[in-house]
Structure 1
Amino acid sequence: MKGYKLVISSRKLKDLQLVKNRCPNKDYISILPLDLAALDKMSEMVNEALSFYGRIDILINNAGISQRSLIMETDLEVYKKLMDVNYMGTIALTKAILPHFVSQKNGHFVTVTSLMGKFGSPYRSGYCGAKHALHGFFDVLRMEHEKDNLKVTLVCPGFVNTNVAINALTADGTPQVDNDTATRNGLSPQVFAKKMVKAIENEKFEVYIGRKEVMGIYLKRFFPILLHKVVLRNKVR
């Protein structure tokens, strides 16, 4: 054990309690229910988090909603929700904690985006747009606050076997409900988490975690037309 003290957050209090109860050092874990869509509550949430231990050293932005729908069929409100949660909620929380990091001249923003923040794939237009936006914002944050000794790590997962596809929004905003083969066969959350922790400890600027889908990063950079053909041929849904 590394002795970290955690504040864990999500909208679901019962799930947070289950997570805490499964951990060996419960005294090192505090629960703070939080909804990223409540943009005006972020300063209040940061103050409450600070009340637990007196300081915060690392913020891990890991909340988000995925999408599975074609552009032609997707309601504009679905795009708004994707941006409000995946982008604006993350930015609001980041800005709320930024003055604390600046004042203590130390802090590490870790933002889980996606390989979809680096290249696109059909049925994920709004999700890709929000994840691309996070890269733009946090690259600038890193530049503006290097003088304050602040760090930024962008973590880009490929397929991880979670409920992300099950909860993905469809064209009318309802959840997809069904899983997909690529997600089901992705990395286990445990394997992914270990790789992410290593990247955080090494203060990586950006890290790509997955299997063969990671090659999309390099195809996009050097062979974008080939990537276009590969993605269409694979018909990932």
Structure 2
Amino acid sequence: MVGKVIWITGASSGIGEALAYKLNSMGCKIILSARREDVLSGVKKNCEYPDRATVLPLNLTDFQSLKSKTKNAIEIYGKVDILINNAGLSQRSLIAETKFEVYKQMIDVNYLGTINLTKNLLPYFITQKSGHFVTVTSLMGKFSSPYRSGYCGAKHALHGFFDALRMEHEKDNIQVTLICPGFIQTNVAKNALTGDGSALHQEDNATKNGMPVNQCAKEIVAAIEKKNFEVYIGGKEKYGIYLKRFFPKLLHKIVLNSKVR
């Protein structure tokens, strides 16, 4: 990993921020992207080697800007080796109480923005005959839960897209790793959208008691190094993957009986 240029979206907090610190300490050159330039500057300042970190603000829903942002990212260090698609937004509301506009925002941020940025970088990876797309989805991209319908739908879509990309571009030496975290100690619940589009501003116990974000970042980096296709990160919630596959009705009952909100 030493000397690799790694572009991280959603780098201003949570998993993205933890990855920035971890990768920077390993000798990687990192490009930090999110909407808030001032917060990104704080992350850069807190890196062990700030001279190996560069701030590149972007908004994933500003689709027209992502082509120029990709060009800027490549120019910073002369190359990009890995793109970590980490930026995302969650949801906490019942389907019957959720406005359509909230679903659109889930798709724009979590899916369309991510694949737009990916498609802009893809020709560069093809030309250099190497590259690695690391996309942070969720366990909710593999099975669903009440109050997260839009989030689950967008995360499921990412799996469909990136599994296809991996198959189409194996010949170009392009790697794809899908990261599926469960409950991680971040602000994902507080920032989640409610049915009317406002932020929840409330922590949930599952997230509060989840895996420390630094441990999550450590496991993600290990998956990147191993070039895993897909990894599940978290506590006992990750076993829902296997229940979904072999005992779907049992998983249905377990999730309904748990305090999922």
Please, what TM-score do these two structures have when normalized by structure 1? 0.99
Q: Distance in 1 between the 2:48 and 2:236 partners?
A: 35
Partner in structure 2 of residue 50 of structure 1: 74
| Counterpart check, 1:68 vs 2:92 | yes
SS at match of 2:222: helix
Render the CA deviation track for 1:103-138: whole Å, top value 9, x for unaligned.
Answer: 000000000000000000000000000000000000
Partner in structure 1 of residue 7 of structure 2: none
Q: Distance in 1 between the 2:89 and 2:57 partners?
A: 17
| Counterpart check, 1:189 vs 2:218 | no
Query: Which residue, out of 80, 92, 100, partners 2:116?
Result: 92
Query: Which residue, out of 22, 30, 36, partners 1:12?
Result: 36
Q: Distance in 2 between the 1:164 and 1:16 partners?
A: 18
Query: Which residue, out of 114, 127, 133, partners 2:138?
Result: 114
Q: Distance in 2 between the 1:22 and 1:84 partners?
A: 30
- Which deviates the most, 38-47 or 148-157? 38-47
SS at match of 1:130: helix
Aligned residue identity for 2:108: D
| Counterpart check, 1:227 vs 2:227 | no
Partner in structure 1 of residue 193 of structure 2: 169
| Counterpart check, 1:34 vs 2:58 | yes
Q: Distance in 1 between the 2:56 and 2:142 partners?
A: 31
| Counterpart check, 1:21 vs 2:45 | yes
Query: Which residue, out of 226, 231, 254, partners 1:202?
Result: 226
The CA deviation at 1:3 is 2.0
Q: Distance in 1 between the 2:203 and 2:26 partners?
A: 35
The CA deviation at 1:235 is 2.7
Partner in structure 2 of residue 215 of structure 1: 239
Q: Distance in 2 between the 1:34 and 1:193 partners?
A: 22
The CA deviation at 1:15 is 1.0
| Counterpart check, 1:180 vs 2:174 | no
Q: Distance in 2 between the 1:55 and 1:22 partners?
A: 24
Number of corresponding residues: 237
Runs of 4+ with >3 A deviation: none
Q: Distance in 2 between the 1:212 and 1:225 partners?
A: 18
Partner in structure 1 of residue 83 of structure 2: 59
Q: Distance in 1 between the 2:48 and 2:145 partners?
A: 40
Percent of paired sites with the same residue = 62
Structural RMSD (CA): 0.6
Unaligned runs of 5+ residues in structure 2 are 1-24
Q: Distance in 2 between the 1:156 and 1:193 partners?
A: 12
Aligned residue identity for 1:30: T
The CA deviation at 1:61 is 0.2
